[in-house]
């Protein structure tokens, strides 16, 4: 089955302030034992949102704020997704409902894992993130539009030029963002290559 071509994303935003938010904060290690990624969304930022009894912590967290329920575009600061390389971090955000992340910068492995989910990560200057975050905080119904092909983020009529590697941009808009999916889609070609290798056999 061909992959979805991702060229335009529109949704409400939610801002998680702070630099160097690591993968252990995004998804605590005890949730890495799951057999599948299904259900991980409810545990995104769990230890920052809930106490040991599962009650919301007194300290407000954006993901506990009803105003941002259903938001699908995550606004972050510098070096988001640093720390361990756990794939569960972007998986938990995707299953929470996030469909794109816009930040100042991203840890490389988190970035790659996100793209393979079809969850674009684009960069903006810190002041641009702050401007969009302010608009979202003042009016949570504010829509953010991401044009992958043009590498732009639009909010309240203002267009911000975003950064993303050209290879990533083209893979998203052309529906080639998942290498495993591409292999499965081209299984006949894989078989042809394997059959031509003298040291390979498929049984």
Cα separation, 7 vs 152, in Å, equals 11
Looking at the domain assignment, is residue 48 inside a domain?
yes
**pLDDT (0 to 100) of residue 69:** 96
The answer as to whether 203 is a domain residue is no
What per-residue confidence (pLDDT) applies to 202? 52
- Its domain, for residue 168, covers 8-195
Residue 144 CA, chain-centre distance (Å), reads 15
pLDDT of residue 178: 75
Q: Is 200 exposed, middle or buried (0-12, 13-18, 19+ CB in 10 A)?
A: exposed
CB under 8 A, 24+ apart: contacts of 29-36:
29/86, 31/88, 31/92, 32/86, 32/88, 34/88
Would 3 be classed as within a structural domain? no
- How many helical (H) and strand (E) elements, i.e. helices and strands, does the chain have? 8, 7
Predicted model pTM: 0.87
Answer yes or no: is 1 within a domain.
no
202 domain-assigned: no
**Beta-carbon contacts of residue 21 (< 8 Å; ≥ 6 apart):** 76, 77, 79, 80, 81, 82
Rounded Cα gap, residues 141 and 156, in angstroms: 11
Note whether 81 and 105 are within 8 A (CB).
Answer: no
Within 8 A by CB and 6+ apart from 158, the residues are 131
Residues of the chain where predicted confidence (pLDDT) is lower than 70:
1-2, 35, 179-191, 201-203
Residue 12 lies in a domain: yes
CA dist., res. 109 & res. 105, Å (int): 12
Distance (Å, whole) CA 90 – CA 113: 7
Cα–Cα distance measured from residue 163 to residue 148, given in angstroms and rounded to the nearest whole number: 10
What is the number of domains present in the chain? 1
144 within domain boundaries: yes
Give a yes or no: residue 2 inside a domain: no
12: CATH: 3.20.19.10
Task: Report the alpha-carbon distance of residue 46 to residue 104 in Å, rounded.
Answer: 23
Residue 193: per-residue pLDDT? 76
């Amino acid at each position: 089955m061909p992959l979805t071509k991702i060229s335009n994303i529109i949704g409400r935003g939610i801002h998680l302030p702070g630099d160097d938010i690591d993968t252990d904060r995004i998804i605590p290690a005890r949730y890495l034992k799951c057999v599948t990624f299904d259900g991980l969304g409810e545990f995104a930022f769990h230890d920052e949102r809930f106490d040991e009894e599962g009650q919301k912590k007194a300290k407000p967290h954006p993901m506990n704020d009803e105003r941002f329920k259903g938001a699908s575009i995550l606004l972050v600061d510098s070096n988001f997704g640093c720390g361990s390389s756990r794939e569960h971090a972007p998986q938990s955000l995707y299953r929470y409902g996030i469909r794109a992340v816009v930040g100042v910068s991203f840890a490389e492995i988190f970035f790659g894992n996100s793209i393979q989910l079809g969850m674009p990560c684009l960069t903006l200057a810190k002041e641009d993130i702050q401007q969009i975050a302010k608009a979202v905080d003042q009016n949570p119904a504010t829509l953010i539009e991401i044009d992958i092909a043009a590498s732009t983020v639009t909010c309240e009529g203002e267009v911000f030029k975003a950064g993303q590697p050209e290879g990533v941009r083209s893979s998203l808009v052309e529906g080639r963002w998942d290498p495993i999916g591409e292999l499965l889609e081209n299984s006949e070609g894989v078989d042809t290559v394997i059959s031509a290798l003298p040291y390979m056999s498929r049984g």
